[in-house]
């Protein structure tokens, strides 16, 4: 990450970097089509754009990097679908470095645009790897029933797999509300107040628990193994909101100790999804920075 951030900064204009202590810019995610700080890909030359993509690739496993690149490409698809009225384009993604990529210091970076927000915070060789947001509109494009592009297909399918593995008597306890929220509960905010937890994983029958653990792994394994974080699987809970059939507005949530996974299909036809991996007590390196302040009094 230090190497790729340095490569980016050498190829980018000054607005690619802000002070690490600028919390107004650092502790926020903006996955909506709203203004955001940083340097846009279309403001960079070929070397700078490649450096931005290489930096993003340090934070994601190959399959998750492929998802991210598919989501970037979908901006052109969505722009066409909307009649080109909002001038969306695949170079309207921004990258921003917080502080200096110093081996001994605190710094961070973000790659962000519509339906992507990946934030990494570092203190020396310690990496705090959340929040990680990926969304898709459209969630799926088909040709005669065959999927052409489904960048978040696994997140959609495994969520339903957990639900489908539940016995009928347990479903009413898992489905918390008959309607889904308009968006993920955590939103773009820095400080997340987790919604009420759902049914404990220990109370799920074997097949449903197995599918739930697969679902959790899907989100955790967006991150490379060397920056992943442990999860207490015995403390997991699962909640579903909204209809329980595909093609509808629906939502699920997995919570654990310092873990929040959310998926929300935000349109009536179930073809626009938001997903996020967060750590409510540790996002934006809050845990790393607390440890830093304890070891290095200011």
Please write the tens of the pLDDT for every residue from 31-41.
Answer: 999 999 999 99
Q: DSSP state, 234?
A: G
- Residues, the chain, total? 298
Q: What's the CA gap between 37 and 217, in Å, rounded?
A: 31
- Residues β-bridged to residue 236: none
C-alpha distances out from residue 66 to 74, 105, 203, 261, Å: 12, 31, 35, 20
In this prediction, residue 124 has a pLDDT band, given cuts at 50, 70 and 90, of very high
In this prediction, residue 298 has a pLDDT band, given cuts at 50, 70 and 90, of low
In the prediction, which pLDDT does 294 show? 65
In the prediction, which pLDDT does 20 show? 97
**Residue 133 parent element (H or E):** strand 132-136
Pairing type for strands 175-177 and 237-241 reads parallel
In this prediction, residue 293 has a pLDDT band, given cuts at 50, 70 and 90, of low
Residue 296 has pLDDT above 90, yes or no: no
In the prediction, which pLDDT does 287 show? 79
Backbone angles phi, psi at 292, to 5 degrees: -60, -45
Residue 142 has pLDDT above 90, yes or no: yes
Average model confidence (pLDDT) for the chain?
95
In the prediction, which pLDDT does 240 show? 98
DSSP per residue, 164-213 = HTS-TTTHHHHEEESS--SS-SSTT-SS--PPPP-EEGGGS-HHHHHHHH
For residue 216, cis peptide bond before it (omega within 30 degrees of 0)? no
Residue 181 has pLDDT above 90, yes or no: yes
In the prediction, which pLDDT does 16 show? 98
What percent of the chain lies above the pLDDT cut of 90? 94
Please write the tens of the pLDDT for every residue from 92-114.
Answer: 999 999 999 999 999 999 999 99
Listed in sequence order, the DSSP H helices in the chain are: 2-11, 23-26, 46-57, 62-81, 153-164, 171-174, 206-220, 286-295
3-state secondary structure of 263: strand
Q: Report the pLDDT averaged over residues 62-70.
A: 98
In the prediction, which pLDDT does 292 show? 61
In the prediction, which pLDDT does 243 show? 96
Q: Report the pLDDT averaged over residues 268-291.
A: 92
C-alpha distances out from residue 79 to 86, 88, 177, Å: 7, 5, 33
In this prediction, residue 270 has a pLDDT band, given cuts at 50, 70 and 90, of very high
Q: What's the CA gap between 56 and 60, in Å, rounded?
A: 7
Where in the chain are the domains? Answer: 2-130, 150-281
Residue 248 has pLDDT above 90, yes or no: yes
In this prediction, residue 200 has a pLDDT band, given cuts at 50, 70 and 90, of very high
What percent of the chain lies above the pLDDT cut of 70? 97
Q: Report the pLDDT averaged over residues 131-141.
A: 97
């Amino acid at each position: 990450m230090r190497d790729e951030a340095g490569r980016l900064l050498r190829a980018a204009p000054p607005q690619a970097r802000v002070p690490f202590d600028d919390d107004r810019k650092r502790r926020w995610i903006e996955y909506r089509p709203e203004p955001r700080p940083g340097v846009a890909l279309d403001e960079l030359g070929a070397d700078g754009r490649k450096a931005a993509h290489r930096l993003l690739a340090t934070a994601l496993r190959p399959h998750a990097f492929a998802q991210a690149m598919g989501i970037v490409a979908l901006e052109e698809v969505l722009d066409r679908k909307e009649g080109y009225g909002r001038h969306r384009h695949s170079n309207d993604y921004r990258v921003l470095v917080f502080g200096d990529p110093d081996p001994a210091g605190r710094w961070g970076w973000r790659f962000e645009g519509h339906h992507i927000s990946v934030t990494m915070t570092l203190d020396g060789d310690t990496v705090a790897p959340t929040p990680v947001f990926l969304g898709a509109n459209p969630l799926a494009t088909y040709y005669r029933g065959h999927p052409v592009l489904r960048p978040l297909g696994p997140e959609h399918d495994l969520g339903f797999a957990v639900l489908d593995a539940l016995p009928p008597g347990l479903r009413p306890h898992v489905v918390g509300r008959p309607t889904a929220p308009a968006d993920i509960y955590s939103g773009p905010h820095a400080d997340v107040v987790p919604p009420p937890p759902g049914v404990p994983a220990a109370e799920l029958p074997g097949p449903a628990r197995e599918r739930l653990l697969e679902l959790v792994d899907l989100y955790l394994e967006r991150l490379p193994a060397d920056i992943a974080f442990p999860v207490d699987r015995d403390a997991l809970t699962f909640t579903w909101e909204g209809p329980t059939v595909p093609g509808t507005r629906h939502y699920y949530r997995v919570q654990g100790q310092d873990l929040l996974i959310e998926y929300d299909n935000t349109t009536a036809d179930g073809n626009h999804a938001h997903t996020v991996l967060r750590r409510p007590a540790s996002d934006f390196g809050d845990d790393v920075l607390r440890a830093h302040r304890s070891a290095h009094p200011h």
